[in-house]
Amino acid sequence: MIMRVQQVVMATMVVTIVVFGPKRAEAAAPRAFFVFGDSLVDSGNNNYLPTTARADSRPYGIDYPTHRPTGRFSNGFNLPDIISQRIGSEPTLPYLSPELNGPKLLVGANFASAGIGILNDTGVQFVRILRMYEQFELFEEYQERLSAEVGSERAKKIVNGALVLITLGGNDFVNNYFVTPFSPRSRQFTVSQFSRYLISEYSKILQRLYELGARRVLVSGTGPLGCVPSQLASKSTNGDCVPELQQAAQIYNPLLVQMTKDLNSQVGSDVFVAVNAFIMNMDFITKPQTFGFVTSKVACCGQGRYNGIGTCTSLSNLCPNRDIYAFWDAFHPTQRALGFIVDAIFSGTNDVMSPMNLTTVMALDSNI
Ligand SMILES: *[C@@H]1O[C@H](CO)[C@@H](O)[C@H](O)[C@H]1NC(C)=O
Ligand SMILES: *[C@@H]1O[C@H](CO)[C@@H](O)[C@H](O)[C@H]1NC(C)=O
């Protein structure tokens, strides 16, 4: 009798595990998240590289839970962190972090590197950074490691089912074309020609990402390059956004939307979603008070005009309340401003999220 009860109990447990075990585990595992691009999304890869483009000293990270610098170009969380929080995932670790091992690989990985651009000659002044082709080499290496962890079939599913974010292009203008008045690229191309060249190279990058298994990719355009404190400090006489940089962003961004549309029709699916970071940033730059900011011109951390000269260091001016500033340093928004950008990524209409916002993407993909 006792034996039989035990057998029944055992059998019931086996059935329960078979029926509910794996299903529950799959349902509970949020989709993986992969991040590529520049300083807007680098979560600390550059900490591991001999580069000058780094955010690993105070006061970076002052509002992060640990109150310590992490390599994020923010006072606290950065854009990928806030997206991870809102999709219910852990933050993705920088790929170069030694902590990215074992089950952590299933969360995804961040390959971004501050200072890089679409072109290999962008950011040469920062010495050793992970250019796009290197980020992709590491993504291939990641997939091998993930396969070793969970098997190649499951690894492929995780990659195909993942959400991907890529942010590129700002540095190609600010740290390449416009870096000096007579930069090599500006002598080679007009802004319009240069934008077209960037888009054709960006298209190749996205096609490579597709080949590597990405099936849902948020592709961010450039923000209002002429409105960042760095450009106000160096090129604006009266605090108005610098027209030549604003015009460049306004030539480049529509080309990017068209390019993602072309790629989607090529692959026959809405793989690429264009994020209009220009409009999203302009909302709080033109009406800072509406968003609870005292200014959108002066950076919280920095020195000189608009706190926009040089980099943010422990010797810089530092605002006491980061929540009332739109810009944290000369180039990067504060954590609170990034929250407004993520709001728009989730709930924006077709003019800022093309062809659809992230709420719609998550709903569509929930039955994968
Ligand atoms: C950047 O360099 C890599 C490796 O040499 C090369 O494959 C790629 O085509 C280059 N990209 C551009 C835009 O020149
Ligand atoms: C997302 O996009 C859809 C379709 O454009 C729209 O109806 C919806 O209001 C947007 N916002 C949210 C939160 O879904």
Whether 16 shows a pLDDT value over 70: the answer reads no
Whether 335 shows a pLDDT value over 50: the answer reads yes
Residue 279 Cα, ligand 2 centroid: separation in angstroms?
17
- What is the CATH T-level fold of the domain 31-365, as seen in this structure? Rossmann fold (3.40.50)
Q: Kindly state the average pLDDT of the residues 28-44.
A: 92
Whether 216 shows a pLDDT value over 90: the answer reads yes
Are 212 and 140 contacting, i.e. CB atoms less than 8 angstroms apart?
yes
The position carrying tokens 């690429």 is 272
State the closest ligand 1 atom to the C-alpha of 119, by its place in the atom list counted from 1.
13
354 ligand 2 Cβ < 6 A: no
362: phi then psi, degrees, rounded to nearest 5: -65, -35
The position carrying tokens 């924006």 is 348
Residue 74 Cα, ligand 1 centroid: separation in angstroms?
30
Out of 89, 113, 236, 332, pick the active-site residue.
Answer: 332
Q: What is the pLDDT of residue 30?
A: 84
State the closest ligand 2 atom to the C-alpha of 350, by its place in the atom list counted from 1.
5
Query: Which residue, judged by its Cα, is nearest atom 8 of ligand 2?
Result: 347
Question: Which pLDDT tens digit goes with each residue over 280-323?
Answer: 999 999 999 999 999 999 999 999 999 999 999 999 999 999 99
The first and second tokens of residue 214, run together, are 């990405």
DSSP codes of every residue in 80-92: HHHHHHHTT-PPP
Whether 18 shows a pLDDT value over 60: the answer reads no
Closest ligand (CA of 120): 1
Closest ligand (CA of 132): 1
Q: What is the pLDDT of residue 6?
A: 45
Answer with the residue of higher pLDDT: 167 or 29: 167
State the closest ligand 2 atom to the C-alpha of 359, by its place in the atom list counted from 1.
14
Out of 81, 172, 270, 329, pick the active-site residue.
Answer: 329
Query: Which residue, judged by its Cα, is nearest atom 10 of ligand 1?
Result: 120
Whether 26 shows a pLDDT value over 90: the answer reads no
Question: Which pLDDT tens digit goes with each residue over 225-258?
Answer: 999 999 999 999 999 999 999 999 999 999 999 9
- How high is the mean pLDDT of the chain? 93
Is 0.85 topped by the overall pTM? yes
In the residue annotation, 347 being an active-site residue is answered as: no
Q: What is the pLDDT of residue 355?
A: 98
In the residue annotation, 283 being an active-site residue is answered as: no
Query: Which residue, judged by its Cα, is nearest atom 7 of ligand 2?
Result: 349
Q: Kindly state the average pLDDT of the residues 13-19.
A: 41
pLDDT band at 368 (very low <50, low <70, confident <90, very high): low
Q: What is the pLDDT of residue 21?
A: 38
360 ligand 2 Cβ < 6 A: yes
359 ligand 2 Cβ < 6 A: yes
Q: What angle do CA 172, 276, 119 make, to 5 degrees?
A: 20
Query: Which residue, judged by its Cα, is nearest atom 13 of ligand 1?
Result: 119
Query: Which residue, judged by its Cα, is nearest atom 7 of ligand 1?
Result: 133
The Cα-based distances of 263 to 250, 257, 267, 274, 306 in angstroms read: 21, 10, 6, 11, 40
Are 14 and 52 contacting, i.e. CB atoms less than 8 angstroms apart?
no
Out of 38, 39, 236, 270, pick the active-site residue.
Answer: 39
Are 125 and 117 contacting, i.e. CB atoms less than 8 angstroms apart?
no
Closest ligand (CA of 199): 1
Q: What is the pLDDT of residue 149?
A: 97
Q: What is the pLDDT of residue 17?
A: 40
Query: Which residue, judged by its Cα, is nearest atom 2 of ligand 1?
Result: 120
Q: Kindly state the average pLDDT of the residues 56-76.
A: 98
The position carrying tokens 């509002």 is 63
Closest ligand (CA of 359): 2
From CA 337, how far away is CA 163, in angstroms rounded?
22
Question: Which pLDDT tens digit goes with each residue over 167-205?
Answer: 999 999 999 999 999 999 999 999 999 999 999 999 999
